[in-house]
Chains A and B, each alone.
Chain A
């Protein structure tokens, strides 16, 4: 094992895949010489050259659309969209083209592309630079959606995403880039659709994504002092969703809190809650609770932003509201 930050782990996974498979290439705004807006692709331009680490104009539609075209014709592009918020710009290429091509063509096309996207609030970047829009994409059949938390998960899941023959949305939290964790010396692919239990517990299942995994683990420590033991389940991929691991945990605790940073209305939590209600109703001893951002755009001013985004105490409150 070695220590790596999330950014380093992503970079390492990109390196490994680019070395392994020459069809893999990166493109996006300022990803080359500049090393990416958040420094994630630093050094890759020097190592692989401008043909495989391509700086693009500010043209998100062309970034995604050309990735679709290249993927359909034998390449394995890894485009980066600088902020999740800018995904609104190439939405047609993602939703109507990338996601549906294979189906519309009767199974005759493959679109192996992985779109890397920084999400999240926490830097007073305001309403157009802070969103978590992952829920939009689980609503689109044809796309896979990955949203890891730890450095090791970012690395392993990115490798699987790049090797996957389908379009994958890969959401990275920008406030996690500097967070360190253990990464195996030999990075192995982690299969999509496999959740991970980040902490075992008995009383309440907390299903958390991305940054909220860390907040839930903090909440776990606090709750322990009050004699409440939570199990923190990180789905890691939102589609395909590892229902089995989630359901096993629910069977054990009979109580569920779902935590994500995106706004609550129509969020991923709603989908997961519905699936649990559907199939695990008999195991539930309390209503399923969701902890999420308030249903507002992310405001600029620090006290407002802090208030809108869910925090450790919101998780603690939700757990306590249903704990035995």
Chain B
């Protein structure tokens, strides 16, 4: 497939956006500016960007606890994301959600998720709705290797398969669910093998190759939009950092981490672009600088925002009922 220069630059920019955003988040978390849990997406950027680059604004995604990358790739605004991570009223969820619950429903982002495996049936439901409403929308469900052992994996994919729902199940196989390696948590090597059980296509791609992910998801999205049902795509990748910030990562070796860092999706893609001669180093550097500025602005925006008034805690539970506040 011949990709246009602007598409290639878009991939690069989005991956750099995620990397720089996440690098900043790690730093701010260590400084105590971000409360709660943070799960870094560093190292897995090619999956979110390769997948979401096939989507329109009105297509849906369901995300995970490791969701910042999916949000940015789907067009989420960095400033509102950062403000949410700070717990500010100017954040995406007015400070109610935090890292694990950022959502932008207007952009089809049906939320990060604190429940591993929570997204499978929700994505199926978004696909069902698109089908019932007669639109051309698709839903992409991101999930991890660990999540593929939840009941919802089976139920969600099976349902999508029998109803030919426009859903693409995108597995980010980073080889671990917290401390447990894939070898220890399942007997298969390729999670895409499970597609057979649902009579749908299953593909495994190099998840650190943004073009490979892009092309696999492109095919799946095409199928979905044509009413041919779901696809299961497994992207082999790796998280550079611990499961959460603060994880001592005793369960994997330094060598393994170093091996995977050599396959860094952004470095690789940058090198490839330069080798192809499609873009110049200057073009890429200026993207880097633009993104640095974006991230700085996002941090400023987050810092400037106010914390929510405590009484706001009782709002947004229901559409119509607000219970009393504390005396």
**18 cross-chain CB contacts under 8 A:** A29-B180, A33-B250, A33-B251, A58-B147, A61-B151, A85-B114, A88-B115, A124-B35, A126-B36, A126-B96, A129-B37, A299-B95, A299-B313, A301-B98, A303-B307, A304-B87, A304-B96, A304-B308
Q: How far is the CA of A123 from the CA of B186 in the complex (A)?
A: 32
Q: A293-310 vs B: 1/0 string, CB under 8 Å?
A: 011110111111011100
Min C-beta distance of B275 to chain A, whole Å: 40
Residue among B36, B251, B308 making CB contact with A34, cutoff 8 Å: B251
Nearest CB in chain B: distance from A62 CB, A: 8
Complex A-B, nearest 7 residue pairs according to Cβ-Cβ distance, in ascending order: A300-B98, A301-B95, A128-B114, A301-B87, A307-B310, A124-B35, A34-B179
Given A57-B177, A57-B180, A299-B95, A85 contacting B310 (CB threshold 8 A): no
Q: CB distance B314 to A301 under 8 Å?
A: no
Q: Is the interface of B mostly helix, strand, loop or mixed?
A: loop
Which single residue of chain B is at the shortest CB-CB distance from A29? B178
B255: interface (CB < 8 Å):
no
Cα distance, A306 to B312, chains bound together (Å): 12
* Max chain A Cβ within 10 angstroms of own Cβ: one of B36, B84, B97, B101: B36
Which residues of A sit under 8 angstroms from B251, Cβ to Cβ? 33-34
Instruction: State the Cβ distance, A185 to closest chain B Cβ, in Å.
Output: 32
B88 interface residue per 8 A CB criterion? yes
B37 lies within 8 A of A294 (CB): no
The answer to whether B184 and A124 touch across the interface, beta carbons within 8 angstroms, is no
B-to-A contact residues, CB < 8 Å: 35-37, 84, 87-88, 93, 95-98, 100-101, 113-117, 146-147, 149-151, 177-180, 184-186, 250-251, 307-314, 317, 323, 325-327
Residues of B within 8 A of A261 (CB): none
Which single residue of chain B is at the shortest CB-CB distance from A300? B98
A308: B residues at CB distance < 8 A: 313
Query: Which of these, A30, A32, A58, A296, contacts B117 with CB under 8 Å?
Result: A58
- The interface size bin for chain A is 35 or more
How far, in angstroms, from A294 to B37 measured CA to CA in the complex?
Answer: 23
Q: Interface of A with B (CB < 8 Å)?
A: 29-30, 32-34, 37, 55, 57-61, 85-86, 88-89, 123-129, 294-297, 299-304, 306-308, 314, 317
Task: Determine the chain B residues whose CB is within 8 A of the CB of A33 once the complex forms.
Answer: 179, 250-251
Beyond A59-B149, A59-B150, A124-B98, 20 additional contacts (C-beta under 8 Å) are A29-B180, A30-B180, A33-B251, A55-B184, A57-B149, A57-B177, A58-B150, A59-B151, A85-B114, A127-B96, A129-B114, A295-B317, A299-B313, A300-B36, A301-B95, A303-B87, A303-B310, A304-B87, A304-B312, A314-B326
CA distance A125 to B87 in the complex (A): 11
User: Of the candidates B115, B151, B308, which one forms a contact with A128 in the assembled complex, judged by CB atoms under 8 Å apart?
Assistant: B115
- Residue in A127, A294, A296, A301 whose CB lies within 8 Å of B114: A127
The smallest C-beta distance from B254 to any residue of chain A, in angstroms, reads 17
Q: Cβ of A300 and Cβ of B101 under 8 Å apart?
A: yes
